[in-house]
Amino acid sequence: MNSVGRLDYIDIAKGIGISLVVLGHTTITISCGTGKFVHDFLYLFHMPLFFLISGYLYNHKREQTLWSYSKRKLYSIGVPFSFFWIGPSLYQIFVNGESYSYLFSWIFLEQFDCWAIWFLYSLLIVSILYKALYIYIQKINIYWVLLGGLMLFSIYKLHFKALLDTTAFCFIYYYIGNQFKIKKLVFRKSVIGIVCVCLLILAKNYRDYSTFISVNYRGFWFGNNDFVSTIVFPLLGSLLVIWISQYLVRYKIPSNMFTYLGRNSIIIVCTHVQIMQMIQTKLPNMNWLGVFLLIMILYYCGLIFICRKYLPFIFGMRHERGLF
């Protein structure tokens, strides 16, 4: 345990997860070869992992009222989301000539054109909704009803505006993560290891490695649109990362590196796309792996420190070590 009672491997899993998010975005324009394989494989599970971890870390005893819980989440998640949505929107308005209605255009769209910060928006809604259900319904059975409805909803791809379809789907993983905690289902290495081997076997039998199912949560594309590609693959991939994290705890250098990244994942979520685009503009011949490594080196060697020291407010940071 660490100083605030969080399992060390959870922070490591977050660090691996946010690294995979960056890696996935550096390969997003690759249409063939290794880069395409890496992109499609990571997009099977890298975002569900964060919702699963967030659900696992949810503590219904921390705040007794929905209002106090909502205030904390509006600060830690709502503030960075607002800043990193409003800032680029103002740029579009004053530099590119968009109308002021552009600030609210995402409400009327099925796709949320804001890269990674869609995650903050969805996590904010899922967190507050889950707290409200926990307080006012107080019967865990209702979650099974809701979960079943969301699974059918996601598989049949019903679309709503303002990313509410994707947000509803992500509720599933938040719920699963919290159930791991409520049922005291510890992430046992042996069990997770077996599950993750099944992931590779299932992936091989389900679809050829060279053409993994296309999944994009921001665009609400869920591969073959069935239970395997929408539920099984993301869950197994998330467990794979957690399993790896449990083994990395014993090794000081990778453990410290990923823990540092995990505890500062909010900074990376909000800023890595802009940094990636600058690098690709200045160094157009650098391949996707080089771009990824350069981004992570910049974060580890100073960017995170600068953001925490001089810009903590815009990242929703007070005294907490991380976002979720």
User: How do the domains of the chain map onto residue ranges?
Assistant: 8-315
Read off the pLDDT of residues 6-33 as tens digits, 9 standing for 90 and up: 578 899 999 999 999 999 899 887 777 7
In angstroms, the Cα distances linking 145 to 8, 27, 76, 149, 234 are 33, 38, 30, 6, 21
Average pLDDT, the chain: 77
User: What's residue 238's pLDDT?
Assistant: 87
Read off the pLDDT of residues 228-241 as tens digits, 9 standing for 90 and up: 666 777 888 888 88
Is the pLDDT at 1 greater than 50? The verdict is no
Contacts of 71 (CB under 8 A, 6+ apart): none
Which pTM value belongs to this model?
A: 0.82
Higher pLDDT, 105 or 88: 88
- Around 154, how many Cα atoms within 13 Å sit in the side-chain half-sphere? 31
What is the band of 5 on the pLDDT scale with cuts at 50, 70, 90? very low
Read off the pLDDT of residues 150-198 as tens digits, 9 standing for 90 and up: 665 555 555 555 566 677 778 888 988 888 887 766 556 556 666 666 6
- Cα separation, 233 vs 214, in Å, equals 12
Q: Which long-range contacts (CB under 8 A, 24 or more apart) does 200-206 make?
A: 202/228, 202/232, 202/233, 202/236, 203/233
- Cα separation, 114 vs 273, in Å, equals 10
Question: Is the CB of residue 196 less than 8 Å from the CB of residue 236?
Answer: yes
Is the pLDDT at 128 greater than 80? The verdict is yes
Instruction: Say which amino acid occupies 180.
Output: F
